[in-house]
Structure 1
Amino acid sequence: MDYIDFEHSENEEQKTDLREIASKTWVYTKKTMKWASISFVGFVLISFLVLVSLKWVNPSFTAFTLQEDWEEIGVERYSLKERWVEYEDIPQNIKWAVVASEDQKFWEHPGIDLVAIAEAYQEMEKGERVRGASTITQQVAKNLFLSSDKNFVRKGAEAGLALTIDALWGKERVLEIYLNIAEFGPGVYGIGKASDHFFDKEAEFLKDDESARMAAVLPNPKRMRVEPASPYVKERKDWILKNMMNLSGIAYYNYPEPEVMQDSVQTDSSFTFDAPFINRIQISRVGLSLSGISSDRTEKPDSSTTDSVKNREFRF
């Protein structure tokens, strides 16, 4: 009578089952990888098309407006397009104010400021308070597509988007979108709505002092207020006005004026800051050639004031 090895037979069946499971798992994995790759490529292409379209199409919302808890702040949802202000209708003073406040090398860099990033890294290594190195273009990328999370993944995505946006849109479009999506107060997005909300006027009629005050709250619009302005906001406003002068070469209010311009530029409080963005790279790098003022000499806040402007409320 033949002996049947049931144990060996069971082991062979188990091995066969395992091979079948492994084979099916590999087929499933390959399909998953294939569809994941297709989805990723599709996502990249769609994202690129969205970025390209935004060169001409004004966005109705941003990642930040979608995240906003409208019920808490007591306002209704609205489209950014409702109060959109075209670039040519935005007054020069608010353009100069935000550049002086947020990104003085805006017209020079390709979307990110490598020098500012290196300085911020050195400050972090020394254990000092890290000042924000985000450019206006990076803030546009963050506000439109990302979140306010403070981590290196978000910062990396922000930098990549900023380089792409700067290359695709150009500086004027970047500045236009920034001013129309920036938050100037809790739930107050865009220069059109902000000028009406705070000063009951259209953006094109903003005065220089008002523009500088609005730019002053941009680092933290939920804590700082345009109206009524705190002593700190007023300090930042004065600092911005000085830097507007230095960046443009235009004599401004009661601050010292370049001698070459004394005979041709009015300097009393009625003076309107209407310097156009001409010779942008030259202005940003060395100041208007008439004044000889370099952007490296932009005024710093008085160190005798509390904690000073340069060390407070900057973005990550």
Structure 2
Amino acid sequence: MAKQSKSSKFGRFCRKLLRIFIILFILSNIYLVVCKWVMPPITITQFTNFFGYGLKRDYVKWDEISPNLKLAVMASEDQLFPDHDGFDWKALEKSLSTNSKKKNKIRGTGASTLSQQTAKNVFLWQGNGVFRYIRKAPEFYYTKMIEWVWGKKRILDVYLNTVEMGPGIFGVEAAAQAYFHKSAKNVSRSEAAMIIACLPNPKVFTVKPMSRFVQWKYQWILKQMNNISDDPDIMALTK
């Protein structure tokens, strides 16, 4: 009887856990649809940063973001963004085959696309270790969902408004104000490259004072911007 009682309690616990998971899953999908039109009120990364660095953030509309910033982030992070389905499979295969001696080599673009980064920023959490592998399945799901529901323009819009760009600084408007005392709409090409160069570690790769990494990378980004600026699909996403 005792064994049956324990088994029954465990079964009820599992069923309750499953119901909670299903409810949270449904709510997250409703939230995903709402975010097609409404910016996320707060992300996990923003929340966790608040207690140590504060929160500097000012969401702006698509037309209030300089085309230079849109071009710079694609040039730096994901040059195939207009063309892929959320995943750059060739870059992913390349990153998985890279041996340990080359794993720290700096690459301008990598396996993690802007769509993946946006899904992670809005719906999931940052960090490496074991939690990184736990995150992979939901990251895949939310990446595909925002590709289907939001579309490329909205993904880029949300990314530029929510990505961390300095200690406690989130989004291009807050970054432009903090680093250059101007709105994101008026950022020059060089300034855009400097802001984007702080990715993927804006707490270490600082814009002001300018770290050696940012000093090198922003010049690389400028060259990449020149290389892709006349691509019709890229141009369509910078307007």
SS of structure 1 residue aligned to 2:98: helix
Q: Does 1:177 align with 2:158?
A: yes
Q: What is the identity, as a one-letter code, of the residue corresponding to 2:20?
A: S
Counterparts of 1:6-85 in structure 2, within 5 Å, are 20-70=1-51, 72-73=52-53, 75=54, 77=55, 80=57, 83-85=58-60
Residue of structure 1 equivalent to 2:141:
160
Query: For residues 53 and 69 of structure 1, do their structure 2 counterparts lie closer, same or farther at Cα, with a shift above 3 Å needed?
Result: closer
Q: What is the identity, as a one-letter code, of the residue corresponding to 1:172?
A: K
How far apart in 1 are the matches of 2:19 and 2:163?
35
Q: What is the identity, as a one-letter code, of the residue corresponding to 1:277?
A: M
Higher helix share: 2
Per-residue deviation, residues 35-54 of structure 1 (Å, max 9, x unmatched): 22222221211111111111
Q: What is the identity, as a one-letter code, of the residue corresponding to 1:110?
A: D
Q: What is the identity, as a one-letter code, of the residue corresponding to 1:115?
A: K
Give the number of aligned pairs. 230
Q: Over alpha carbons, which structure has the higher Rg?
A: 1
How far apart in 2 are the matches of 1:198 and 1:53?
32
Counterparts of 1:95-174 in structure 2, within 5 Å, are 95-124=70-99, 127-129=101-103, 132-150=110-128, 151-174=132-155
Counterparts of 1:138-287 in structure 2, within 5 Å, are 138-150=116-128, 151-249=132-230, 277-278=235-236
SS of structure 2 residue aligned to 1:28: helix
Uncovered stretches (5+) of structure 2, i.e. residues with no partner? none
Pairwise CA RMSD? 2.3
Residue of structure 2 equivalent to 1:288:
none
Q: What is the identity, as a one-letter code, of the residue corresponding to 2:2?
A: I
How far apart in 2 are the matches of 1:136 and 1:146?
14
**Post-superposition offset of 1:173:** 0.8
SS of structure 2 residue aligned to 1:222: coil
Query: For residues 224 and 29 of structure 1, do their structure 2 counterparts lie closer, same or farther at Cα, with a shift above 3 Å needed?
Result: closer
Q: Does structure 2 retain, via aligned residues, the 8 Å contact 1:92–1:276?
A: no
Equivalent position to 1:92, from 46, 56, 67: 67
Q: Which runs of 4+ in 1 moved over 6 A?
A: none
Uncovered stretches (5+) of structure 1, i.e. residues with no partner? 1-19, 251-274, 284-316
Residue of structure 2 equivalent to 1:308:
none
Given the two structures, how large is their TM-score scaled by the length of structure 1?
0.67
Q: Kindly, what percent of the aligned residue pairs are identical?
A: 33
